[in-house]
Amino acid sequence: MIALLLRDLKLAFRAGGGFGLGLAFFLIVTVMVPFAVGPQSSLLSTIAPGVLWLGALLACLLSLDRLLALDWEDGSLDLLATAPLPLEAVVTVKALAHWLTTGLPLVLAAPFLGVLLNLPMPGFFWLVISLLIGTPAMSVIGTFGAALTVGLKRGGLLLSLLVLPLYVPTLIFGAEVARRGATGMEVQTPLLMLAGITAATIALLPFASAAVLRINLR
Amino acid sequence: MSIAAKANALWEYANPRKFLETSERVLPFFWIVSTICIVVGLIWGFFFTPDDYKQGSTVKIIYLHVPAALMAINCWLMMLATSLVWLVRRHHVSALAARAAAPIGIVMTLIALLTGAIWGQPMWGTWWAWDPRLTSFLILFLFYLGYVALWEAIEDPDTAADLTSVLCLVGSVFAILSRYAVNFWNQGLHQGASVMRAGAVTGADTEEKVSNVFFYPLLACIIGFVLLFIALVLYRTGTEIRARRIKALQARERVGG
Amino acid sequence: MIPDLGKYADAVLSSYAVSIALIVALVAFSVMRGRKVRAEMEKVEQRMSRNG
């Protein structure tokens, strides 16, 4: 398992592996927002938590089609399926690798982009916390979507269409935590809900992803 | 007849030929009765019910809005059930019925959303509000779109049936989650403001509040929509079975020739 | 004939029009596709039986 994780990480960091693309996308989206809505700092600070959450979500989405497609193309996915490692573990490791290369950098970058959007001071802490808890769910759900569309030639757009509705609960609770944190309201309920969703998706969704992958590899 | 025998009798309809024969026999009944119910319900509701003292004549929209909304949800439930049957018992008819139902669900959701918007304009002064109920339906609409798109995208019919079934199961869980999330989210935004609004349009509330004058035509419409849904599903499933058979025959032709 | 709908006539009539149009379109589309597929199946089946 660890060998597989290391391999995935190495592939991602290698030139052309796509590491950093999501991060760059996150930066660009955030920079574009003031151009679109105007530079008033009061407006920006109101929408900052939501914009940063949406940006992170889209950046995550953007990197999903590379999650399994490369392994599918060069046939290593077939090898992994016949390996002694259960497929459930394989998809979990894939999701973990995706989170480490995409989700975690987004979490770390978010506070700096928060400065650009005039995020209120107490918001930084809760933004990072909510993203830290929410992005693993996005990776796991994304792996499910990637497994669904892995055999398709132009699966990218379909992948977004399938995954975005599944992101709704995570986005709602996550952005709610960040928003409430920024305005100094209590955040316990949405935070617990967000953590619950993440825990449940990590525990259950790999089984669905593995089942779907088996169907696609048939 | 014992329960097991009855269950066996039910599974007989999983045979495509048997399904086609039976559905052909019962379809005229469903078409005719559903048309009668809807026409009677709508005419009754439109011409012979009084205006609501608060909502004026807009209350007449209820005869379309509520049945469509009901069917939008029930259609998804039916797809969930048939997807499970396909995954467990591998009956092709079941998977094809789910495929046949999805576009009906899309249209029903669309009707519910559109009539809701048209109703909301004079009542709330806005076409659209991010009310939990409205938002949930919009999300349901997105789920339907994704489901249909996945069916269309995959070439191999069995793979498509498997994948869409899993998507339907996972999607159902997330749809319920979204429903709760949306409830929470809007209360978090403006407390209580939506409760009265939602109460004015919900089926449960209106059935309590609205007297029999409105209820019977509404009931006729609901029965009509249910029967129309059944008729459409049976008919469209038949079409899917035939389309599938064409594919199979053509494949055999290619192999033979 | 048409009852007095008051100031909400537009809303009521347009929602009826939209809904009925959508339902009719759905039924028409289903029936059209059904007919086409059925005819095609018969054609293919005949060809099959002729060729053995």
ipTM of the complex: 0.89
The stretch A85-108 carries a mean pLDDT of 90
Pairwise CB contact (< 8 Å): B166 & A205: no
The neighbour count for residue B33, using CB atoms within 10 Å, is: 16
B136 bridge partner residues: none
> Looking at residue C52, what is its pLDDT?
57
pLDDT score, position B197: 38
Name the residue among C23, C34, C44 with its Cβ closest to that of B249.
C44
Question: In this predicted structure, what is the pLDDT of residue B9?
Answer: 60
Q: Is the confidence at residue A210, as pLDDT, over 70?
A: yes
Rounded Cα gap, residues A182 and A48, in angstroms: 9
Residue spans of the domains in chain B: they are: 23-256
Predicted model pTM: 0.88
Distance from C-alpha of C27 to C-alpha of C33, rounded to nearest angstrom: 10
Name the closest residue on chain B to residue C29, using Cα atoms: B236
Work out the minimum CA distance from B121 to partner chain C, whole angstroms: 8
pLDDT at residue B204 in the model: 44
Is residue A200 over pLDDT 60?
Answer: yes
Any chains having at least 3 CB pairs less than 8 A from chain C are B
Nearest CA in chain B to C14: B118
Rg, chain A, Cα only: 18
Q: Around Cβ B10, how many Cβ atoms within 10 Å?
A: 9
Interface of B with C in 148-187 (CB under 8 A): none
Residues sharing a CB contact under 8 Å with residue B97, sequence separation 6 or more, in sequence order: B78, B82, B233, B237, B240
Query: Cβ–Cβ of A216/B163 closer than 8 Å?
Result: yes
Of B146, B170, B188, which is closest to A176 when you measure between CB atoms?
B188
Nearest-angstrom CA–CA distance, B209 and A45: 44
Question: Mean pLDDT for each consecutive 10-residue tract of chain B (257 residues)?
Answer: 56 79 92 94 86 76 90 95 93 92 96 90 81 88 94 89 94 91 68 36 45 80 95 95 88 76
Interface of B with A in 168-187 (CB under 8 A): 169-171, 174-175, 177-178, 180-182, 184-185
Burial grade of A189 (CB within 10 A; 0-12, 13-18, 19 or more): middle
Write out the two tokens for A214: 């088996």
- B111 closest CB neighbour out of C19, C44, C48: C19
Q: Can you give the pLDDT at residue B155? A: 85
Taking residue A19's Cβ as centre, other Cβ atoms within 10 Å add up to 18
Is B245 within 8 Å of C41 when comparing Cβ atoms? yes
Distances (CA, A) of C9 to A104, B38, B124: 56, 21, 16
Among residues A134, A142, A113, A144, which one has the least CA distance to residue A49?
A: A113
Round to whole Å and give the CA distance between B73 and B77: 6
Chain B residues in contact with C27 by the CB 8 A cut-off are 232
- Residues of chain A with a CB closer than 8 angstroms to some CB in chain B: 144, 148-149, 151-152, 155, 158, 161-162, 164-166, 168-169, 172-173, 176, 180, 189-190, 193, 197, 205, 208, 211-212, 215-216, 218
Could you give the CA distance from residue B104 to residue B233 in angstroms, rounded to a whole number? 8
- B83 interfaces chain A, CB cutoff of 8 Å: no
Put simply, whether B26 touches A (Cβ < 8 Å) is no
Helix axes B157-189, A155-182, angle to 10 degrees: 20
Q: Find the Cα–Cα–Cα–Cα dihedral A173, A174, A178, A180, rounded to 10°.
A: 10
Which residues from chain B sit within 8 angstroms of residue C45, using beta carbons?
249
Of B58, B118, B246, the CB nearest to C41: B246
8 A C-beta contact, residue B60 and residue B45: yes
pLDDT at B184: 82
Shortest Cα distance from B135 to chain A (angstroms)? Answer: 11
Looking at residue C1, what is its pLDDT?
Answer: 53
Chains A and B touch (3+ CB pairs under 8 A): yes
**Chains contacting chain B through 3 or more C-beta pairs under 8 A:** A, C
Tell whether B142 is within 8 A of chain A (Cβ): yes
Chain B residues touching residue A130 (CB < 8 angstroms): none
Tens digits of residue pLDDT in C2-52: 666 677 888 888 899 999 999 999 999 999 999 999 999 888 888 888 775
Task: Look at A173 and B167 and tell me if their CB atoms are within 8 Å.
Answer: no
Model confidence at A199: pLDDT above 50: yes
- Listed in sequence order, the residues at least 6 apart from B10 whose beta carbon sits closer than 8 Å to its beta carbon are none
- Tell whether B160 lies on the interface with A, counting CB pairs under 8 A: no
B188·A166 Cβ contact <8 A = no
Contact check, Cβ <8 Å, C30/B239: yes
Could B139 and A208 be called an inter-chain contact, meaning their C-beta atoms sit closer than 8 Å? no
Give the per-residue pLDDT at C30. 95
Helix H or strand E encompassing B53: none
Distance (Å) from the alpha carbon of C30 to chain B's nearest alpha carbon: 6
